[in-house]
A = this chain, B = another copy of it.
Amino acid sequence: MNLFTPYEEAFNAYMESYLPSSGQFAETTRYALFSGGKRLRPWSLFAVLESYDIPYLQGIPFSAALEFVHTYSLIHDDLPCMDNDTLRRGRPTLHKQFDEATALMTGNLLLSLAFEMIQDSKEAKFLTKVLSEACGAEGLLGGQLKDLYKETCSARLLFSQKTGALFQAALWGGSILATTNQAQRDIWRECGLALGILYQVADDFQDGDSSFSLEELTHLKEESVHQIQNASQTLLHFPDSLTLFVNRLKQQCGVLHDPLTSLS
C-alpha cells in the first residue's frame, strides 16, 4: 500500500477545490498535480501531526501548499531554459504536452495558489513566512540556480536549498500546527532539513551520476542520519513511520556500496 493512501481522498479533494474548473489551466494544473507524485512532503507533515494526536485534516492546507510549490518547481525545472527535460514520471513534461508559455504560467499559478490556500490554516501568517523562505533565494530558487550553473559549493548547501527547504517547511510547519513548544519546533525544523538532505543524498546515490564524491555523499548521509536520530530521541513524539522512511533512505544510500542490495 502506498504510504499516502489514507490521506489521498481528502487531500486530493482539497487540492481540487483550488483549481480552475474550466479553461486551459483547469487541464494543465491537473495534468501536473495528478501524475503519480509520492506526496512525501504532505505525508511527512501528516506524520508529525499524528505523533501529537492532531487530526491530519488540520494540516491539509499547508501540506497542499507544499505540494503545489513542489509541483511548480518541477514544471519550471523541466523547461528548455532550465533542465530541458521531455519526460517526468513516465509522461511528457508539461511544456511538451502543452507548450512552454502554458507550462511557465501553470507553474506561476500553482505558486500563487499555494500562498492563497495557506490562509485557511491557523498560524497562517507564520506559515506564509515559512513557505516563502523555503521558496526563496536561500531555499528552492537558490538551489535551482546553483544546480543549473554548477556553482562550486558543498553538497550540504546545495541539497539543503534545493531539497531540504521544502522538507524543512513540512516538518517545521507540522510542528507549528501541533505544538506551541518553541524548543520542539526548533528540533523539528532541523530534523526536516536533515531529512530533505538525506532524501537528496539517496537520490544522488540512486541516479549514480552525482557531481559530488562518494566520500562527500557518505559523510553527508551519516551526518543527516545522526541529526535525525538525535531528534527522534529528544522529541517526545517521533512517529515510527518517519523512522521507517529514514531507514529506507539509508538503504538506498547503500546501493553504490553493494549493487546486489535489493530495494523494495
> What residues of chain A have their CB less than 8 Å away from a CB belonging to chain B?
20, 23-25, 76, 79, 81-82, 99-102, 104-105, 107-109, 111-113, 115-116, 118-119, 124-125, 128-129, 131-133, 135-137, 141-142, 144-145, 148
User: Besides the contacts A101-B148, A109-B137, A124-B128, what 8 more A-B pairs have beta carbons closer than 8 Å?
Assistant: A23-B137, A23-B145, A24-B145, A25-B141, A76-B108, A81-B99, A109-B135, A115-B132
Contacts of A108 in B (CB 8 A): 76, 107-108, 111, 135, 141
Select one of B100, B129, B142 contacting A116, CB under 8 A. Answer: B129
Of all chain B residues, the one with the shortest Cβ separation from A124 is B125
Q: How far is the CA of A24 from the CA of B141 in the complex (A)?
A: 11
Of all chain B residues, the one with the shortest Cβ separation from A29 is B137
Q: How far is the CA of A50 from the CA of B76 in the complex (A)?
A: 41
Q: How far is the CA of A108 from the CA of B135 in the complex (A)?
A: 9
Select one of B82, B99, B104, B142 contacting A76, CB under 8 A. Answer: B104
Shortest CB-to-CB span from A225 to chain B, Å, is 30
- Please name the 3 residue pairs, one residue from A and one from B, whose CB atoms are nearest each other, closest first: A116-B132, A81-B100, A112-B135
Q: A113-B136, A116-B132 are in contact. Are A105 and B145 (CB under 8 A)?
A: yes
- Do residues A102 and B145 form an inter-chain contact, with CB atoms below 8 A? yes
Q: A81-B99, A81-B104, A104-B104 are in contact. Are A129 and B119 (CB under 8 A)?
A: yes
- Do residues A141 and B112 form an inter-chain contact, with CB atoms below 8 A? yes
Q: How far is the CA of A109 from the CA of B136 in the complex (A)?
A: 6
Q: What are 11 A-to-B residue pairs whose CB atoms are below 8 Å?
A: A25-B145, A76-B104, A81-B101, A107-B108, A111-B111, A111-B112, A115-B128, A115-B132, A116-B129, A116-B133, A128-B128
Looking at A81, A112, A113, A142, the one whose CB has the most chain B CB atoms below 10 A away is A112
Contacts of A136 in B (CB 8 A): 109, 112-113, 116
